[in-house]
Structure 1
């Protein structure tokens, strides 16, 4: 499985992403042509030595650049560039992430926003070039290891803030990308954050596989460690994905069945990945229950608080868990026929990173609806749905 990997151990910016992708083998002249045909800029591609690492240095020189653009003007500029359809969609998606972040930070609708740095031609060039280059890589998957956002403070339009800048932090919030602080300056720009957030799946380590090619994209600043973004093309083997979790656990002995039944929904609403309640015998022979909750580390405190509110327990244990293996999951629709009537039913497909299907399950609510309408027993509807899905998807 051909995979593109970003390793932002020294952060990321638009020009670093461009440099890393050229380092992987993208034709620099081709990249220059696509950017210069879209905007009034000049693109140069060279090399720079960063603490002994020779990296690809992509520089965008602007001409008569606008100081600011409205969101609608950004969209018009992108659409006027006549980019390939898939590239245009990605460029619009990246700027949508930036726009929504700025909208929330400033408390203004997108239509009223004026973009300053991220609305200038060099930022547009970075995003257009990066989206074009990423699509040219023709990767089956794109992964990103933990992102170093840097350290210290950064000046923004709304004052001085600790790194990361407010817009960068807002972009990261919904991405799932793990971050950490190291260094004395800002290392992750809003543009770099948005490109990684739009394209990449977060991983806590390099996946297993063979390295096909490596590239290094140079950043502008001179830092004590190499200010480069490392990129890789890998042939990733068909292994299961991993994610980081914590297991929360508590014992209760005076909670009714009604409260426990309600507890499932309440914990899932605040972010629990799974909940298990097991009957047990406690001290002095009293009957009780062990409640176990699987949670993402960043959600544990909130879930523990809800567990205490709902049950009255005075303590929640956190059981150390490094990670768990998980199957990648996606939803799809299959159609089954019952007595000449066709019904659409959703199915959940579990697969490994190579795309090999591990399991297919029919969605219960859809199957129950079809069972009620058709009169066919529920278990038969589920069997036919899953059998149809296996025949349809197994060979893909």
Structure 2
């Protein structure tokens, strides 16, 4: 199953909760997660409403008024102590980490000095944990989000009148397609923005899919000019899923000493392979094309590492079919040490036998022999595996 969030009218935590519940996520699933994380009682109440004439669900998060100002460490402690599935805990923590980073940038302080106010209240904790639990329940293999409406004008906050999008939202949505949208008010909240950028695997129009469920989550306002709802479409993908995706980007402003660490981080994130190609860009600037081969299920994690470790602000992604030989791993003895040997078969016939060079290098270091001599011995012993 895949999902598409239509945020062309904006998004907030309670709107996403309403969309999830309307799309079929049981209320008790979300309430149970909220109960586990909230230090005080929080009740979710669902109401059927209309927005510009369209039916939608409004999810009310009912909690006692609180003036608590929680730090990122406080929120982490709440989540660490909660009886939550690990994916839900990890997603919720990632959302709050993004919020803390955005707030720190806005106020020019270190992350550890951020004090959540609006987003640290109990209703925001419930929004974040509830939305993460709802998407975990759906078990989607991919989530795409539309261009995000942020609104326009100004809005009141604890810091006075702020321009829309508010500074935290503007920072959270860097690198994400957004526009003012139909609202002349705040359309996307910081919590909504952080949830979208954390949970989304990509941004764009609705992917080819056979829709099985549609959920509409209502915002608090009914402006009449447009339906103030966030929609969630859930269904099966149409067409063949690519066996592999190649992520590419051209980079001309990264210190070349960082590239080995970049490649290592991508492989650690689940990339099947990662490599650099020297290129010459416009105006004769030397640069590199970074290419990463990754299975679709690890695409989001690898994409995130590309943005974290390089200076690029955009990537290209192309899906490919893939033909892979059957393979197995054997071991041969070289000077009393084990060297793994990868054996590849085509229709049952051995067509490739290759020692793992990391093992060869380790034996060379241990014995003091040259790498080429150890490799020659390993290849000689591996030859018998062709029989």
- TM-score, normalised relative to structure 2: 0.65
Residue 30 of structure 1 corresponds to which residue in structure 2?
Answer: 29
Separation in structure 2 between the aligned mates of residue 34 and residue 28 of structure 1, nearest angstrom: 10
Residue 19 of structure 1 corresponds to which residue in structure 2?
Answer: 18
Residue 53 of structure 2 corresponds to which residue in structure 1?
Answer: 52
Deviations 1:131-187 (A, max 9, x none): 1111000111222122111222334555544322111222223xx432122231111
Deviations 1:52-98 (A, max 9, x none): 21111100111142342222222222333322222222211211111
Contact 1:177 1:202 in 2 (8 A): no
- How much does 1:335 deviate? 7.3
Residue 138 of structure 2 corresponds to which residue in structure 1?
Answer: 137
Separation in structure 2 between the aligned mates of residue 119 and residue 40 of structure 1, nearest angstrom: 15
Greater displacement, 23-32 / 132-141: 23-32
Residue 116 of structure 2 corresponds to which residue in structure 1?
Answer: 115
Separation in structure 2 between the aligned mates of residue 244 and residue 35 of structure 1, nearest angstrom: 37
Runs of 5+ unmatched residues, structure 2: 260-275, 291-315, 323-327, 342-353, 365-370
Greater displacement, 21-30 / 335-344: 335-344
Kindly indicate whether residue 173 of structure 2 is the aligned counterpart of residue 172 of structure 1: yes
- How much does 1:33 deviate? 3.8
- How much does 1:276 deviate? 4.8
Residue 231 of structure 1 corresponds to which residue in structure 2?
Answer: 232
Greater displacement, 196-205 / 233-242: 233-242
Contact 1:208 1:239 in 2 (8 A): no
- How much does 1:373 deviate? 6.4
Residue 72 of structure 1 corresponds to which residue in structure 2?
Answer: 73
Q: In structure 2, the residue corresponding to 1:230 is in which secondary structure?
A: strand
Q: In structure 2, the residue corresponding to 1:54 is in which secondary structure?
A: strand
Residue 200 of structure 2 corresponds to which residue in structure 1?
Answer: 200
- TM-score, normalised relative to structure 1: 0.64
Separation in structure 1 between the aligned mates of residue 16 and residue 321 of structure 2, nearest angstrom: 26
Residue 296 of structure 2 corresponds to which residue in structure 1?
Answer: none
Separation in structure 2 between the aligned mates of residue 27 and residue 204 of structure 1, nearest angstrom: 28
Deviations 1:273-318 (A, max 9, x none): 977559xxxxxxxxxx9999989xxxxxxxxxxxxxxxxxxxxxxx
Q: In structure 2, the residue corresponding to 1:42 is in which secondary structure?
A: strand
Alignment CA distance shift 1:291-1:376 (3 Å):
same
What count of residue pairs does the alignment treat as equivalent? 313
- How much does 1:366 deviate? 7.1
Alignment CA distance shift 1:148-1:246 (3 Å):
farther
Deviations 1:244-282 (A, max 9, x none): 9999xxxxxxxxxxxx9x99969x9xxxx977559xxxx
Separation in structure 1 between the aligned mates of residue 186 and residue 16 of structure 2, nearest angstrom: 16
Alignment CA distance shift 1:198-1:367 (3 Å):
farther
Q: Summarize the alignment of residues 311-322 of structure 1 with structure 2, pairs less than 5 Å apart.
A: none
Separation in structure 2 between the aligned mates of residue 82 and residue 246 of structure 1, nearest angstrom: 40
Separation in structure 2 between the aligned mates of residue 43 and residue 369 of structure 1, nearest angstrom: 59
Separation in structure 2 between the aligned mates of residue 365 and residue 16 of structure 1, nearest angstrom: 53
Separation in structure 1 between the aligned mates of residue 321 and residue 65 of structure 2, nearest angstrom: 47
Separation in structure 1 between the aligned mates of residue 249 and residue 96 of structure 2, nearest angstrom: 34
Alignment CA distance shift 1:366-1:28 (3 Å):
same
Runs of 5+ unmatched residues, structure 1: 248-259, 279-288, 296-322, 346-361, 385-396
Alignment CA distance shift 1:147-1:104 (3 Å):
same
Contact 1:6 1:145 in 2 (8 A): yes
Alignment CA distance shift 1:121-1:264 (3 Å):
closer
Separation in structure 2 between the aligned mates of residue 263 and residue 114 of structure 1, nearest angstrom: 34
Separation in structure 1 between the aligned mates of residue 5 and residue 358 of structure 2, nearest angstrom: 39
In angstroms, what is the RMSD of aligned CA positions?
4.7
Separation in structure 2 between the aligned mates of residue 33 and residue 116 of structure 1, nearest angstrom: 24
- How much does 1:238 deviate? 2.5
Q: Summarize the alignment of residues 359-370 of structure 1 with structure 2, pairs less than 5 Å apart.
A: none
Contact 1:32 1:44 in 2 (8 A): no
Separation in structure 1 between the aligned mates of residue 74 and residue 189 of structure 2, nearest angstrom: 22
Residue 164 of structure 2 corresponds to which residue in structure 1?
Answer: 163
